[in-house]
Amino acid sequence: MKKKNGTLPWRFSLPSMVLITMIIIFPIAFTLYISFTNMNLYHWDDYRFIGMNNYIRALTKIDSGFLSAIVTTIIWTVLNMVLQIVISFFIALGLNIKGLKLGRLYKTLLMFPWAMPAYISILLWRVGMYNTEYGLLNKFITAIGLPKVEFLSENIPAFFSCMVLNLWMALPFLIMMMDGALQSVDHSYYESAKLDGAGWWARNIYITIPCIWPIIAPAIIMTTFTTFKQFDIIYLLTMQKGSLTGATLNTVITYAYQNAFVSNNYGLSSAVSIVIFGFIIFFSLFINRGIKGENI
């Protein structure tokens, strides 16, 4: 029986594997190939193999700007993740309070930012919230007699403005995951704990978190990567072509984009991409190990 079905799983997964090869593996392999060539504007058709030259050039880009981008990316990822996990946990707890009226309505409203296309959300925030003339925040600020604030023209306010928007856009996913996980926790644990005299904090620390952790851990890993490689928010809020705000905030991805991807030098850009790809793979192994370790 076992022998008969030996190739069946492979045959069933063949279409997906072909598609994955075409859509994911082939572009990565082709990027790797291009990264060893001098394909650029001046060698469009007659590009040739140039060994590790592009990698040497890519690594020389690790200057003070790149290091500062790494620091910004780490602060950005850590701050966003801590806030996202804490806020979404408490919101999910709130949504699971017994007897909560209109719970479904709240859940639907909380999903709204996630359902909106990111591009539209970002531009809406840029104009509708942060704009000096039409932004809601400045309307409030000027209404109480204070001068207008340029939220996006300096690095620190721009960082926090981007972070608030990122939270707005990313929280629904974690709330949804935590809400689902919370509903799977057996209520008898809480009843026993109550009988043993456990308070609200103790119940959450010793029952809720350990019970939901296996479910939310993959969601946290996914969100961590999305946050780490965040490009849209920072680019569209502060550095969109023709609408630069003055902030020079850079994450690893925006830095790489600015320094390698606008040059029409496909060889160099590919080498930078492969370096970032390696960096993200390393980061993912590191995080996966950390989580496995905690599970043990």
Partner 1 sequence: MKKKIALLLCITMTAMGIIGCGNSEESLATKGGSASKQSVVTIWHDGDDSIMQVIENGVNEALESDGILVKFEKKSGLTDQMKLYGNDEANGPDMYLYAHDSLGTFVEMGILAPLTDVIEESDYSDMLPMTIQAGNYKNTQYLLPVYFETLLFLYNKDLWEGEVPSTTEELFSYMESHTDTASGQYALVNQHSTAYNVAPFINGFGGYIINEQSVPGLNDEKTLEAIEYNKKFAALEADGDYNTVNTLFNEGKAAAIIGGPWLIAGIKEAKINYGIKSLSDFTLPNQNALSPYSGVQAIGIMKYAVENKKEALGKVLKEIANPQIGIELALNSGCAPANQISYDYTEVAKDEMIVAMRRTADTAKPMPNVPEMSVMWGPIESLLAAVNKSGQDTKEAASEYQKQAETAIQDMK
- Footprint of partner 1 on this chain (CB under 8 A)? 8, 11-12, 14-15, 18-19, 22, 40-42, 44-45, 57, 127, 131-134, 142, 147-148, 150, 153-154, 241-248, 258-260, 262-265, 268
Q: Which is nearer to partner 1, 174 or 236 (CB)?
A: 236
> Taking the complex as a whole, how short is the minimal distance between the CB of residue 105 and partner 1, in angstroms?
33
- Determine the Cα–Cα distance for residues 150 and 244; give it in Å rounded to an integer: 13
Q: How far apart are CA 290 and CA 280, in angstroms?
A: 15
Cβ-count burial 143-158 (b if 16+ within 10 Å, e if not): eeeeeeebbbeeeeeb
Least distance (Å) from partner 1 to the CB of residue 26? 11
CB of 11 to partner 1, least distance (A): 6
Count of other CB atoms within 10 angstroms of residue 130: 25
Cβ proximity to partner 1: between 12 and 112 the closer is 12
CB of 153 to partner 1, least distance (A): 4
DSSP state of 197: T
| Cβ 273 to partner 1 shortest distance, Å | 14
Nearer to partner 1, 13 or 108 (CB): 13
User: CB-wise, 11 or 98, nearer to partner 1?
Assistant: 11
CA end-to-end span of the chain, whole Å?
A: 36
Of 99 and 242, the one with the shorter C-beta distance to partner 1 is 242
Rounded to an integer, what distance in angstroms lies between the CA atom of residue 83 and that of residue 214? 20
Kindly tell me the burial class for residue 57, based on how many C-beta atoms sit within 10 Å of its own C-beta (0-12, 13-18, 19 or more).
Answer: middle
Torsion of CA 205, 226, 155, 250, to 10 degrees: 140
